[in-house]
Amino acid sequence: MRWLRFAIGLLIALTLHSLLDSFYPNALAFFDPYIILAIYYSMGGNVLGAIIAGVTAGLVQDAFSGAIFGLHAFSLTVCAYIVAYINSRLVLRGTLAFGACLAGAILVNELVIYILVNILLKQRIEMFEQGMLVKTIFTTLFGMLVYQLLTLFLREEPVDATKRSGGW
Amino acid sequence: MAAEVIPRRPTLLLIVVLSVLFILMSLSSRTRYIGETRTLAERSVMTVFSPVPKVVNLIGGTASDMYHGYLDMRRAVNENLQLNRKVATLTAENLKLRQTESDLRRIRGLLGYSEQISMQTSLGHAVMLDTSGRFKSLIIDRGSDDGVTVNDAIVNANGLIGRVILTTKDMAKIQLVTDANCSVGSLIERTRRQGVLRGDGTNAAALHDIPTLADVKPGDRVLTAGIDGIYPKGIPIGAVVKADQGPNLFKNITVRPSVDFGTIEEVIIIHTRKIPDPVVRYAP
């Protein structure tokens, strides 16, 4: 069931990616649906699940963007691992906690990408700080909205639905 | 056994995964410089997930086309509405111009004709026309205030219409030549034979007092003779359509008026010189 949810989430993220790419190409610089998915599944505290979610979502994102293949997979895996690790130690529940984790993860994600691009391509990312700030704000707000909607419609804490035994 | 080990050592798993990803990235970044921009792994992921962007593009493209089609349709409807309004305005304007042109042509004809008349003339407009009964009459918008008097001759560019039989300050009543009580001193233009033209109460007139021996043929033009003290000489009245031998000494001649009374709009009023009453009533 959780695999199915993740697959549906991934398809939705890819659909959003395609839609924005088609109609508002610049919007993808300020909004990242894949990280919402990866962090959502990392909030359950399942480290292994978080790594798989990060790798899968990242590879799909890399395949359909102009980045080096594996770049987002790497950064998302790092973020997902950190969030899952924290959640395996602490009990973080609710929209605000999810928002805080997501915002932190986005910052880490952007920093990792920045470093990797510097190392592998010897390039600097233009307007990195501004882009990171805007992406953090928009993606966090959208992620919190999604989390709130899921809480309403799933009749249980979404994070718990990704944490049951037998998953991943 | 391995499945149980891996979750207990997540950091090790993370390091392995990240190392693999780093190698993948290195390969990918290197292939960018030798022409082949997509690695096998990248192509595989793309192949698996490619239906999603395709479907999204298809749906998005269709929705966009529909939306733009709708916008274009709305624009076309508005444009059509504006064009229809414009067509209506231009049609009205065109009709007005045509009417003006027609009026101008008619009035030019009238003025040209009135210049040929040596007497004083003025222009009037028909306001009422009655040609349905036995008494054929026309009312014009000029009266005694405009100098119109009884027995003034009324013509238009086609010929004689009739004479004034009644005036008010601003209107005058005209007896048409087709009225049964109207008589006009006339002559046949070709032979100069004189007679009296009387309306027959329909839309034609009869030429009386032409002897059976006179030379009259259908098509002969009939003019005013200028001998009745009302109508000036030489105004066209009409053309002979029938000239039969009568039962007595005179011919039965039917004349079709040259004026189409159903189309009268403007008229020329000829202020004729009236014969004084003592002269008319003088009896030696």
State pLDDT tens for residues A81-112.
999 989 888 877 888 999 999 999 999 999 99
Mean pLDDT on A42-64: 88
Distance from CA of B69 to the nearest CA of A (A): 17
Q: Which residue has the higher pLDDT, B280 or A120?
A: A120
CB A74 within 8 A of CB A116: yes
In our burial notation (b when 16+ CB lie closer than 10 A, e otherwise), range B50-64 reads: eebbeebeeebeeee
Task: Please report the pLDDT score of residue B72 as a whole number.
Answer: 94
Mean pLDDT on B245-259: 88
B13 touching chain A per CB within 8 A: yes
**A with B: how many residue pairs have Cβ under 8 Å apart?**
85
The C-alpha atoms of residue B272 and residue B157 are separated, in whole angstroms, by: 17
> Which long-range CB contacts under 8 A does B176-180 form with residues at least 24 apart?
B176/B131, B176/B136, B176/B137, B176/B138, B176/B261, B177/B205, B177/B237, B177/B257, B177/B259, B178/B131, B178/B136, B178/B202, B178/B203, B178/B204, B178/B205, B178/B257, B178/B261, B179/B134, B179/B135, B179/B136, B179/B137, B180/B134, B180/B135
Find the radius of gyration of the CA atoms of chain B.
48
Q: Over 90: is that where the pLDDT of B130 sits?
A: no
Task: Please report the pLDDT score of residue B13 as a whole number.
Answer: 86
Asked whether the beta carbons of residue A71 and residue B32 sit closer than 8 angstroms, the reply is no
The C-alpha atoms of residue A66 and residue B251 are separated, in whole angstroms, by: 112
A120 touching chain B per CB within 8 A: yes
On chain A, the residues whose CB falls within 8 A of the CB of B28 are 68-70
One-letter amino acid at B220 equals D
Asked whether the beta carbons of residue B25 and residue A116 sit closer than 8 angstroms, the reply is yes
Asked whether the beta carbons of residue A22 and residue B22 sit closer than 8 angstroms, the reply is no
On chain A, the residues whose CB falls within 8 A of the CB of B38 are 69
Confidence of residue B8 (pLDDT cuts 50, 70, 90): low
A97 touching chain B per CB within 8 A: no
Beta strands in B90-181 (DSSP E): 121-130, 137-140, 153-156, 159-167, 172-176
B7 touching chain A per CB within 8 A: yes
Query: What tokens were used for A31?
Result: 């909004």
Partner residue facing A69 (CB), from B13, B28, B60: B28
Task: Please report the pLDDT score of residue A23 as a whole number.
Answer: 75
